[in-house]
Chains A and B, each alone.
Chain A
Amino acid sequence: MKKNKNIKVLLVDDEVAFVNTLAQRLRMRKLLVDTVYDGEQALSYIKQVEPDVIVLDLKMPGLHGIEVLREIKKIKREIQVIILTGHGTDKDEEEARKLGGFDFLRKPADIDLLLAKIKEAFSDKLARFMTAIAFAQEGDLDEATKIIKKEQ
């Protein structure tokens, strides 16, 4: 479990009891977890702190999760976003993936599954960084930037 300890996770959900309990459980698994309760708070948060993975609800007061995802990817494309929603439709899932969402889970999700997805998302981010560094060392900065920003 020690290897989880460098992963910074932001949970975004308007269900305060749910998000606080989930945060506590993930912290017990040595993740660094912060919580916010709506999309606008999430966007201000990422302007100051860069989490590795964001676990994002879709239906929240104010900004819809899909809009939040779109904005996150505009501000910091390298942040991995996992959607965790009570009632996401297939259309929502398709849209989320199109916008660069890493995965799409439905509530109530198993903690082990969520943890596995968070680790997977973090590894993916790390692997892209390593590849980007390799390109940068060879002098190909354009390719390095493309990889970090997950561009085709």
Chain B
Amino acid sequence: MPIRNEIQADIRKSYYMEYEELIASQLSFIGKVLSVFSHDINNHLAVLKESAGLIGDLIEFGKTSSRKDLKEILKITQSIKNQIEQTAYFCDKLNGFGHGMEKPLSAFNIHECIEELMVLLSRFINQKMICLEKDFTANMPLIYSNPLKIQFLMFCIIEKHLKRLDKNSRIIIKTVYANDSIGITIIPKGNLIETDEKLICNDEIYKHIINQLGVNISHKTSEETTIILPVSLSSSSNRR
């Protein structure tokens, strides 16, 4: 009996260790998204500050008397408006990402979920000089699942490719809808390199998240990965 208890305790301990590792990885992923986001917002604010400063300079240095300078001020104010729109778009994506974490399960559009991830990670991916592209199918039904976990699973796959792809490569995210299932295929295109970069998501965590989500993974080639999500409780009338 004591041996059985010890084995049970070991199993429990190993389960909790795996669970803690999974939580820690998900938190690292969220941390990555937030740090990339705050970096981007800071850059947007820096552009706004310099643009406002430039208008001030034009006035202060007395260069606003000519029509040409007034035109320049109008051009700067237009660029400020554009910058604010870009910043608002970015904030909207973080807002969606945050709402996705509110409930364990919800109905959502998979394309919006993928776009959130693409926008929020764009700076991180651009820094590696890799281009992330989308190839989305039309008429995608809503899906009932956990958006954060799907984004995390996609991040795990993308992160692995980012580690192995050379600069000027591409990663294409393609979606299809067939047989009441949604397929998300992640296709890397480019030269492979060797790096010793540490990943947020290791193989154990990857398997764990696949089990948790109840999705199937298929590999058409050694590089292409497809996540197959069953469309449960979807509303066929609500296609976007």
Contacts and interface: CB of A to CB of B under 8 A. Distances in A.
Interface string A13-36: 001011001101100100000000
A3 to B, nearest CB: 16
Interface of A: 15, 17-18, 21-22, 24-25, 28, 59-62, 86-87, 107-108, 111
Interface in B76-99: 79, 83
Interface stretch (B7-15, B47-55, B152-160, B196-204): B47-55
A22 B57 CA distance: 11
Given A59-B39, A107-B42, A108-B45, A18 B50 contact: yes
Main SS of the interface on chain B?
helix
A59 B124 CA distance: 10
Contacts of B46: 15, 18, 86, 107-108
B129 A62 contact: yes
Contacts of B123: 59
Contacts of B35: 87
B179 to A, nearest CB: 40
A89 B54 CA distance: 29
Contacts of A24: 54
A21 B72 CA distance: 12
A61 B128 CA distance: 6
B192 to A, nearest CB: 18
B38 interface: yes
B127 A17 contact: no
B167 A108 contact: no
Contact of A25 (B38, B57, B128): B57
Contacts of A111: 50, 53
24 contacts: A15-B46, A17-B51, A17-B79, A18-B43, A21-B47, A21-B50, A21-B53, A21-B54, A25-B50, A25-B53, A25-B54, A28-B57, A28-B61, A59-B39, A60-B127, A61-B128, A61-B129, A62-B127, A62-B167, A86-B42, A87-B42, A108-B42, A108-B46, A111-B50
A21 B65 CA distance: 21
Nearest to B52: A21
A152 to B, nearest CB: 34
Nearest to A111: B53
A108 B83 CA distance: 15
Contact of B43 (A61, A62, A86): A86
Contacts of B128: 61
Nearest to A29: B57
B238 to A, nearest CB: 38
A14 B126 CA distance: 10
Contacts of B83: 17
Contacts of B43: 15, 18, 86, 107
Nearest to A106: B42
B49 A108 contact: yes
Contacts of B49: 108
